[in-house]
Amino acid sequence: MPSPPAATPWIERIVASPTARACYGSLVVHVSLLLLLALSLLPPGTHAKPRLLTLAFGPPSADLSVDDSLSVEAGPAIDVGSDAAIDASPHDAPPALADSPLPDLAGDAAKMMVLDEPPPAIGPPSTDSSDQISDISLPAQLVASRVDNLAPGRGGRPGGGGAAKMSTYASRRGRARQAAARSRGGNAASEAAVDRGLAWLALHQAVDGSWQFDLSGCRCDGACRDPGTLASSTASTAIALLPFLGAGSTHLDGPYQETVSRAIYFLVSRMQPTPRGGDFCEGTMYGHGVTTLALAEALGMTKDEMLVPYVRDAVRFIETAQDLHGGGWRYLPGQPGDITVTAWQVAALKSAALAGVETPSPTLDGVGRFLDRVQTQRGAAYGYRTPAAKSCTSAIGLLCRMYTGWEPDHEPLQRGITNLAKAGPAPQAVYENFYLAQALIQSNHPVWPRWNARNREQLVAQQASIGHEAGSWFFADHDTAPGGRLAHTALAVLTLEVYYRLLPIYRQEAVEGGF
């Protein structure tokens, strides 16, 4: 007898039902319509618009659009394949100081990169020595994220000084630079020498952004004589960076923007955090003082908040490294001071204060104690670590007295400067002349025009003009011999920039009133 047919499962009956199929079809159609309606209601432009980063070899654009692109200028690309590299640079023709603008220090090439989102955190530049400098990626936080700080008047926080602070740096570029050089003792020949010196320095920057006193790591491959012997890479990089800041280039703009950006990245990457602050010494407080000075200058010029913690920590290290008894600084933290190392710390503290990073008064009181301990002739002359009347240390001590509150008409100050200037600038004394030029011009001393004319002309005449050494200086100066050609070139350029130099600690308004 046949078995009765098995019952059809309920799920099959539902699937086979015409009514159920009609419901499925209706559901699919309605869901599709709802999705299309929702998409049609979305506002346009929800995707992030790519931001254009332009690496431009050219003068700053007058119309910088922060919304559409970020313009990044770099210094002139220099072919290091021949000894004529510097000779062929655009700096050879002396610039006119009358009404024409400063010479164009850059070429015409440009490189474009598209960024789909804001750049990542700061990272190292390329270390491929076969690349041209223009082919590397700039540290993002030094460039793209800081374009908004180009506008003046951003006061109310450390690093922001408003219009009053911006005026301190107003004479560093363009027509203001020409006018300052013309009115205070510069000329076309001295400006051309500055440009050639900057070209030499840029050529001798290593691919990691540093400079070395022994000239290692740069691409001239040993073609320059007279290297230095000091080992601190922070000291060498910072002293070479200062002249670029002095000529108006920062990590945000200027003809040597990329050179400066790479140098600043290198310096901040070398800071060693300690309980006493951020340490840039690398074996000597010289390195720490010069590095703090350079970073404070960059902060003061750009109001870039990225630099604020580095400058603050570096200032704190200066404070904690001071000899609490004598008030000075020497090679290692806490050592009884000498006047040369102390001078760099004082300059750094002064520049940091102008950038909005203040220094506690006990530190400054200690500087006064130190100067009292090494002075003679009632403050008209100074020694290295004990009272003496040496010319170089006296020039340094008198300038430090100006930084710490002595008025320009203070009798020991005037007497000391007069005694030093009486003999004229010694041709080989680049370190003494570097300090004495500042003291003379800031005190508006009557001997300045005559002293400056002689110093200016001998500096221009002593600049090298052949091969890879073209644009550099080297002096038989015992005080700076360990720094070699790199330090001598930086000091010579800084001295020729004294008429407008962007280091505000060397400007008249910075001296008045001390700290």
Residue numbers of the domain that contains 219:
165-511
Sort 248 into a burial class: Cβ within 10 Å, 0-12 / 13-18 / 19+. Answer: buried
The 10 Å Cβ neighbour count of residue 148 is: 10
Rounded to the nearest angstrom, the gap between the alpha carbon of residue 480 and the centroid of all alpha carbons in its chain is: 22
Compute CA distances 200 → 76, 186, 400, whole Å. Answer: 11, 21, 30
User: Looking at the domain assignment, is residue 62 inside a domain?
Assistant: no
CB 257, CB 250: distance < 8 Å: yes
Q: Which amino acid is at 478?
A: H
Query: Buried b / exposed e across 312-326, counting CB within 10 Å, b at 16+?
Result: bbbbbbbbbbbbeeb
Q: Report if residue 8 sits inside a domain.
A: no
Query: Does residue 283 fall inside a structural domain?
Result: yes
Rounded distance, CA 79 to CA 87, Å? 11
The answer for residues whose C-beta is within 8 angstroms of residue 417's C-beta and 6 or more apart is 398, 436, 439, 440, 443, 445
**DSSP-based three-state secondary structure for 426:** coil
Residue 255 belongs to some domain of the structure:
yes
- Compute the distance between CA of residue 111 and CA of residue 55 in angstroms, rounded to an integer: 5
pLDDT for the residue numbered 474: 98
State the pTM of this model. Answer: 0.71
The token duo for 428 is 């080989």
At 227 the three-state DSSP class reads: coil
Residues 195 and 202: their CA atoms lie apart, in Å, by: 11
Provide the b/e sequence for 338-375 (b: ≥16 CB within 10 Å).
bbbbbbbbbbbbbbbbbbbbebeeebbebbbebbebbb
Give dist(CA 276, CA 279) in Å, integer.
8
Long-range contacts of 486-489 (CB under 8 A, 24+ apart): 486/201, 486/204, 486/211, 486/212, 486/213, 486/215, 486/227, 486/228, 486/236, 486/239, 486/240, 487/213, 487/228, 487/236, 487/239, 488/430, 489/197, 489/200, 489/201, 489/240
Residue in the block written with tokens 């750009």: 302
Integer Cα distance of 199 and 85 in angstroms: 10
Give the pLDDT score at 289: 98
Position 502 scores a pLDDT of 52
Distance CA 348, CA 336 (A): 19
SS3 131: coil
- Answer yes or no: are the C-beta atoms of 92 and 103 closer than 8 Å: no
- 84 token code pair: 């004529």
Phi-psi category of residue 279: left, alpha or beta, with phi > 0 → left and psi -120 to 50 → alpha: beta
Alpha carbon distances (Å) from 312 to 236, 298, 324, 349, 355: 21, 13, 20, 10, 10
- Kindly report the CATH number assigned to the domain that includes residue 289: 1.50.10.20
119, part of any domain:
no
Decide if 36 is inside a domain. no
**Long-range interactions of 23-27: CB distance < 8 A, separation 24+:** none
Would you call 54 helix, strand, or coil by DSSP?
strand
The answer to whether residue 151 sits within a structural domain is no
Beta bridge partners, 110, equal 56
- Let me know if residue 493 belongs to a domain: yes
Q: In total, how many domains does the chain have? A: 1
- Which secondary structure element, helix H or strand E, spans residue 60, and what is its range? none
CA nearest neighbour of 506 among 441, 459, 450: 441
Contact 142, 123 (CB under 8 A): no
pLDDT value, residue 358:
87
Instruction: Provide the pLDDT for residue 340.
Output: 98
Per-residue pLDDT of the chain (515 residues; tens, 9 = 90+): 555 555 566 666 665 677 766 766 777 777 777 777 776 666 554 444 433 333 333 333 333 333 333 233 333 433 333 333 333 333 333 334 433 343 333 333 333 222 233 333 333 333 333 333 333 334 444 443 333 333 333 333 444 444 434 456 778 778 889 999 999 999 999 999 999 999 999 999 999 999 999 999 988 888 999 999 999 999 999 999 999 999 999 999 999 999 999 999 999 999 999 999 999 999 999 999 999 999 999 999 999 999 999 999 999 999 999 999 999 999 999 999 999 999 999 999 999 998 999 888 899 999 999 999 999 999 999 999 999 999 999 999 999 999 999 988 899 999 999 999 999 999 999 999 999 999 999 888 999 999 999 999 999 999 999 999 999 999 999 889 999 999 999 999 999 999 998 545 445 555 555 56
Count of residues for the chain? 515
Which pLDDT belongs to residue 44?
Answer: 55
